Structure 1
Amino acid sequence: MQSSIKENYLISGFFAFFLIHSTPIGVGPIGSQIFVFKDAGHDAWISVLFMGISLHVILWMMYKMLDNPAKDVIVLHRMIFGKLFGNAVSLLMIGYFFMLALSSLRTYIDVLQVWVFPTVRTWELSFIFLSIMYYIVSGGFRVLTGVAFFAVLISSLIFTLNYFPIKYGNPTYLLPVWNHSLPDLLKTSKAASDLFIGFESLLVFFPFIRPADKHAKWAHLGLLFTTLQVAFITVSALLYYSQGLLQQTLYPILVETKIIQFPFAERFEFLFIFCWFIIIIPSMCISIWSCTRIMKRVMNLKPSTSLPWILITFFIAVLQFNDRIKVDELSRFVAGLGFYFLYGYIPLMFILFLIRSKMLRSFGSAK
């Protein structure tokens, strides 16, 4: 069963809002908008809402599986598949969280190289960011929660800047509403999965949230806030760009920020890009922390030992994606992987969990 976690490592249920919200908001809003607009066009905001609303069902499934008593995905796997095969499935999840962090960091480095530091090499930026990630992850889960808290505050301020493209936008670009077929909208919802994946790390850190608190509502509010933010920036892009221009624009949200000017910041897009690192760092660090946590639970390997090796492997993996085509392929692969994880793996686990729970109750009553 789930080993008890010391009280000084636990967090209040209120912080579930910040953890659930900060983990999906990575580089998706910057790098994935072109893919989102491909099939549904000016109706893409409807697909984003479809995706966000449906994820509340997935989150509800996760709480049903992990609650009463509180447990993590490792215990869940052992309960359903047995200890040996369950541990093997848990180890596979290390690769999943590793890929989530890899896609976020490599896309952000590409943004920096395109917009700010075109002459700086990938390994130099990678080394700097991995050093920061090591410092944060080695601090433990409560430090990660604190970083997530400040990331949500920064993201809330940053997203208010979408007022400017909306102010200068053209409302007719959103008309006619629902002009695409349901299959096109659903296909776009699948493409939008990259904007939401990451909150499934709840499967790993769930026991760190105090079970006495009713934190399911905070998790759902965090996911709702994420949905509204993503829908808001999607609408702002649709208002600002024509469909033809939008399909040809690399990193549309960054181009929008070029129209923002303040007396103290002429090139505001540079400040925007650097602030975005604060927004994406929780999602990357929580993914890496999830890898170390699974290794500790399954292999009894201390995070102080596993974390350096994970980050060294991470550094080598980042260097393999050395051009824009490979970065785009990585982003699409991770988006597809996340979609099938959310809508394939979790519902399947939920069904198996219900069957297993019913069997255990039947055996218990028979005794």
Structure 2
Amino acid sequence: MQNSVKENYLVSGFFVFFLIFATQSGIGGLSSSNEVFTYSGQDAWISVIFMGLCLHLIIWMIYRMLGNPAKDIIDLHQMIFGRFLGNTFSLLMIGYFFVSALYVFRTYIGIVQVWIFPSIRTWELAVLFICLIYYLVSGGFRVLTGLAFFSTVTGFLLIPLIYFPIKLGNLNYLMPVWNHSVPEMLKASKVSYGIFIGFEALLVYFPFIKSVEKQAKWAHLGMLTNTIQFVIITISTLLYYSQGLLKNTLYPLLGITKIIEFEFVERIEFIFIFCWLILFFPSLCISIWSCTRILKRVMHLNPRTSLVMILSIFFIVVVQFNDKLKVDALGKFTINIGIYFVFAYIPLLFILYLIRSKRKAKLNAV
């Protein structure tokens, strides 16, 4: 099976690092971190490490299944399940990417409404951001790769800000280490998936990477860098907040930014929130692009036509989540289906792929 993507649409394998990093630098770091602390307390950083290590195994499975030659999840579905059933499973994946994008999008709008513009309506922000999404996604995958690069650079520029909570932190808040049971740690790891969500789009844009079979190291490096980043952020948050205060803080990371002061700017949290716009947009745009790509591959729909259709439905659905309880329910639902998709469905595909490959090898040997 040959790579059907034209040469001028491909990107260097080095950019997989930025794509993995940027699609995980989304809104989960702001919205789901306090739930991780609820289950594992001062041991939350261990749960984040465990989740990051497990995702390296998933990336290895993806590269093993989709490499030699490069193909995407649509090709893999057709190879394992046949054309009709395989296309059905591929179309179901549109729902997964759509919900993931919806979760990131609506959570960020909620943060802007709480911290910056309390009186602005959801539909007003939604219209503004959807126009920007259309502009970026219609530019194609190479444009989104460039966006991921700038998002990664922005993420690295924000990392030094953790110096302030570490400077004012209390080391005793991290003690005692491993004071929670294994079930509690696993629950915290499950919730922490909201921080890592987004890398699954690798299943769709895999054929767009040059010599992708030889570039697995960049995907693992992106995952490792993100894991280290999230662990450092988690530890800095634990150092700054007491356990009682932490469990009742809605956005712990944003709360920390309020203590940062410079002579030339006072409200650094406003700048931080708008910088986070650059961080979460690659995850959002690549998820929407994945929906259009699957529709093009399965139903041969023009990407611009399907993009307008998807964003129209996206707007209608977004405005229905008009209170925090609905947004929280959406977040929990997204994390749950993400866990099942990544840690149940992808390993199942991997097992079926190995069985089919062995059968094919035996037939060829006869």
- TM interval, shorter chain, is over 0.9
Q: What one-letter code is carried by the residue in structure 1 that aligns with 2:201?
A: S
Provide the TM-score with structure 2 as the length reference. 0.99
CA shift for structure 1 position 24: 1.4
Structure 1 residue runs without a partner (length 5+): none
Give the length in aligned residue pairs.
366
Report if aligned partners of 1:136, 1:143 keep a CA contact under 8 Å in 2: yes
Indicate how the Cα distance of structure 1 residues 23 and 44 shifts in structure 2: closer, same or farther if over 3 A, else same: same
Q: Note if contact 2:11-2:208 (Cα within 8 Å) is conserved in structure 1.
A: yes
Offset of residue 363 of structure 1: 1.6
Cα offset, 1:42, TM superposition = 0.4
Paired with 1:282 and 1:167, the residues of 2 have a C-alpha distance of 32
Secondary structure of 2:197's counterpart equals coil
The 5-angstrom pairing of residues 216-365 of structure 1 reads 216-365=216-365
Distance, in Å, in 2 between the alignment partners of 1:126 and 1:303 is 21
Where 1:239 maps in the other structure, the secondary structure is helix
Conserved 8 A contact 2:3-2:207: no
Tell me how far apart the structure 2 counterparts of residues 41 and 122 of structure 1 sit (CA, whole Å): 33
* Residue 264 of structure 1: how far off its partner (Å): 1.7
Distance change >3 Å, CA 47–CA 194, structure 1 → 2: same
2:35 aligned with 1:35, yes or no? yes
AA partner of residue 287 (structure 1): S
The answer to whether the 8 Å contact 1:2/1:75 transfers is no
- Separation in 2 of the partners of 1:283 and 1:302? 22
Q: Report the counterpart of residue 91 of structure 1 in structure 2.
A: 91
Change over 3 Å in CA distance of 1:212–1:63 after alignment to 2: closer
Q: 1:176 to 1:319 in 2, by over 3 A?
A: same
- CA drift of 1:213 comes to 7.0
Q: Structure 2: state its 5+ residue gaps.
A: none
Query: What amino acid maps onto 1:186 in structure 2?
Result: L
1:286 and 1:225 map into 2 onto residues whose CA distance is 20
Which is further off, 306-315 or 180-189?
Answer: 180-189
Distance in 1 of aligned mates of 2:286 and 2:360? 33
Q: Aligned with 1:119: secondary structure?
A: coil
1:212 Cα deviation after fit: 6.3
1:203-218 alignment runs, 5 A limit: 203-211=203-211, 214-218=214-218
Instruction: State the Cα deviation string for residues 67-121 of structure 1 (Å, max 9, x = none).
Output: 0010000000000000000000000000000011000000000000000000010
Q: Residues 239-297 of structure 1, C-alpha deviation per residue, up to 9 Å, x if partnerless?
A: 00000000111101001000011122100000000000000000000000000000000
**TM-score normalised by the chain length of structure 1:** 0.98
Structure 2 equivalent of residue 191 of structure 1? 191
Aligned residues of 1:2 and 1:72 also touching (Cα < 8 A): no
My pick for the range that moved more, 246-255 or 156-165, is 156-165
Pairwise CA RMSD: 0.9
Aligned residues of 2:169 and 2:240 also touching (Cα < 8 A): yes
